[in-house]
Amino acid sequence: MIFILQKTLIFTIPLLIVALAGMFAERSGIINIALDGIMIFGAFIGAVVAFNLRKNVPFFVDHNQLLFIVCMLAAALAGALFSLLLSYSAIKFRANQTIGGTALNLLAPAIALFLIKVFTSKDQMEMGMAVDSAGGRHDFSFVIANNNLPDILKIFFDKTYISTFVCIILFIVLSIFMYKTKTGLRIRACGENPQAADSVGINVHKMRYLGTTISGALAGLGGYVYIATVANGTASGAVAGMGFLALAIMIFGNWNPTGIALGSLMFGFLKCLSVVYSQFAFTKNLGLPMYFYNIIPYLAVLIVLAFSAGKSRAPKAEGIPYDKGQR
Amino acid sequence: MEKKKFLEKESTRQIIASLLCILGGLVVGFLVLAILAVFNKNITFGEAVKGILIVLGGPFSSGKNAMFQLGNMIFNATPLIFTGLSVAIAFKTGLFNIGAPGQYLMGAMTSLLVALSIPSASVPPAIIWILALLAGTLAGALWGAIPGFFKAVLNVNEVIICIMTNWIAANVVSWVFNGSKFINYAETKINFIVKTETNNIVTPTLGLDSLFSGGSVKSYIDISIFIAILVAIALNIMMNKTVFGYELKACGFNKNASKYAGMNERRNIILAMAIAGGLAAAGAALWCLNGHQDFKWDTYQTLPADGFNGIVVALLAANNPIGVIFSALFLRFINVGGSNLAANTSFNEYVSQLIIAMIVYFSGFAQYITLLMRTRKKKE
């Protein structure tokens, strides 16, 4: 059981942080369908940084967890910069946000794969293991591995990646930021009624840039965390549709952090079932194929939505370019 | 009414804007190649120029193989026209059909099951071919109706349902084919399904494949391209000349207003999604029923690119059914150019994706550009 919960946490974290990313953009009024693309871009830059620092800077080989943090920062920065392409077109040129997002979803794998193939002649790039000065080999292993803890604590403090703590803290801090600070309130106002926000002196364009940039940083970070913890440290120009799943979880979670947390936990748990089902006598004896367990999380979302229908409420002004003349 | 000058027409402006977007995409593509040439000692600047020319040449940059590549390009554009139409019709109704990949997979699976299950010894292949196409289309229509139902009846965002049904479809297809007799063991291609030509199910080519051939090797081109063009024309008529098409567009402009005007907006949403699903599936079915194609059944981790590219095609065509034909062909043209680039220079085929991505990005500005042209005219 503990094993399942540990695995669940690993699947949940990237979804959690990327769904929050989606929330930041959409609450500010910009539809961010580019989450998947930004994840891919962040993952790619993170992997490039990891690969090069391991190769050229011995310090980081010895301080592996520090390198992990540096790479996460690089991925977040890359995601933030990449998302500017979306916010610039959507805010400055009032471009259709679905088109901009789709373009980013196409652009990210194209850039990543183009450069990976030019420099490595392969279709994917592995961050690889590093050999430290003492001769030990490292991948991004667990920051804490402690088998002597009581069960409950084991979930969080045994076989845990450092990214798990970073993301959970970020999630809590940013949720508080969104709901308990002046800036957070302003961002939300721009997603609901930008005209009213403007009339009381809030710079709608600035708030939308802020929301989308935070969104980009989180999605980039989430993309790197995904490849470092779930996808064997390989950047391949795809994140198995995780960005779209996160988008779905954001809608599922009704554009608020509590809903997103519950949604990604549920999804993470069901998703990890498809990985661990073969290790339990009960599920193994059922004799159902892997595909069945793969379908469960998606089917569960459909069923929950069917029963909770009508309560969903998107930010009112999302997707509509702000035009001062329409006040 | 005074006849407008050529440059003042709205349609001319739109075409100019589209051409500017394409130019912008190509310029960015060239810049990437040039920058790489500057930073990489092994690549010369001349190679970058040569590279962009190869991409621009599409199938024609392969010299002797041009006709063969052109034939395959047209064949591969067919499913893209269908998924493009699928997304465009949904867009016109105010729905974002990101579920085309799932509908595509359901169509491919059903048509393959029908085409390979009915023995051609007892039933004429032509009948099986038609049955397979119809069954595939129907399966896609039903699959597309699911998000339509959720949207219309339960008011759930169609994007989330489409994404969920995509991955369900990917797993269902793998589940159905896993361990079945349809896997291509004979040619030891265990990740692929038996080609339908083994059951004599082949789309008629009318000699086109010999016309578009590279010496002795025939291309895959068949009459499916004509079917695609006919369907696009039919949809164009439906959207612009019929009551039903008008109702769909009204629903897209303002769902509540169309309801107020007495239209059944729920029925229209479900029907629009069913039509969209049927279109995506028909494209997949025609691709499979060509007879010589390898369909990858072990697809539970990936969704077909043609499904997502339907979004690109529809966006480039501004959701105009006739425009979809050209944008799909254009997309494939650049794709073929990309693979010729990989074959002839030290660059790789992903340049073509990059150029297309930038064209889509700039096409978001198209409205802004036409607006600019309009206001400039007014000032004069």
Whether residues B168 and A298 touch (CB distance < 8 A) is answered with yes
* Most distant CA pair in chain A, distance: 67
Q: Is B278 part of any domain?
A: yes
Q: Is B39 part of any domain?
A: no
Higher pLDDT, A175 or A321: A175
Predicted pLDDT at A279: 77
Query: Which of A38-47, A55-64, A139-148, A232-241 bottoms out in mean pLDDT, i.e. has the lowest?
Result: A139-148
Query: Which of A87-91, A117-121, A224-228 bottoms out in mean pLDDT, i.e. has the lowest?
Result: A117-121
**Residue B251 C-alpha from the chain's centroid:** 24
Q: Is A327 part of any domain?
A: no
| Closest chain B residue to A291, measured at CA | B171
Per CB-CB distance under 8 Å, the chain B contacts of A33 are 159
pLDDT single digits (tens) A124-140: 887 766 665 665 555 66
Q: Are A85 and A108 in contact (CB under 8 A)?
A: no
Q: Which of B96, B155, B348 sits opposite A310 (nearest CB)?
A: B155
Q: How far apart are CA A31 and CA A98, in angstroms?
A: 7
Q: Is B276 part of any domain?
A: yes
Predicted pLDDT at A102: 87
Whether residues B150 and A306 touch (CB distance < 8 A) is answered with yes
Q: Is A245 part of any domain?
A: yes
ipTM confidence: 0.87
Q: Is A318 part of any domain?
A: no
Predicted pLDDT at A132: 59
pLDDT above 90: residue A72: yes
CB-based contact, A99 to chain B, within 8 Å = yes
Note which residues in 201-260 of chain A have CB less than 8 A from chain B.
Answer: 238, 240-241, 244-245, 247-248, 251-252
pLDDT single digits (tens) A79-105: 999 999 999 999 988 888 888 998 999
Predicted pLDDT at A214: 97
Q: Is B1 part of any domain?
A: no
Predicted pLDDT at B157: 83
Residue B258's Cβ-count burial label (10 Å; 0-12, 13-18, 19+) is buried
Q: Is B314 part of any domain?
A: yes
Q: Is A101 part of any domain?
A: yes
Q: How far apart are CA A183 and CA A192, in angstroms?
A: 14
Higher pLDDT, B75 or A308: B75
- How many domains does the structure of chain B reveal? 1
Q: Which of A111, A123, A126 is nearest to A54 (CA)?
A: A126
Q: Are A102 and A33 in contact (CB under 8 A)?
A: yes
Sorting pLDDT into bands at 50, 70 and 90, what band is A142? low
Sorting pLDDT into bands at 50, 70 and 90, what band is A290? confident
Boundaries of domain holding A288? 2-313
Looking at residue A154, which CATH number applies to its domain? 1.10.3470
**Residue B370 C-alpha from the chain's centroid:** 26
- Low-confidence stretches of chain B (pLDDT beneath 50): 1
Boundaries of domain holding B153? 66-331
Q: Is B344 part of any domain?
A: no
Tell me A91's DSSP state.
Answer: I
- How many domains does the structure of chain A reveal? 1
Q: Is A218 part of any domain?
A: yes
Q: How far apart are CA A225 and CA A61, in angstroms?
A: 19
pLDDT single digits (tens) A234-288: 888 888 888 988 988 998 888 999 999 999 999 899 888 887 877 777 777 777 8
Looking at residue B137, which CATH number applies to its domain? 1.10.3470
Q: Is B14 part of any domain?
A: no
Q: Is B37 part of any domain?
A: no
Predicted pLDDT at A157: 72
pLDDT above 70: residue A71: yes
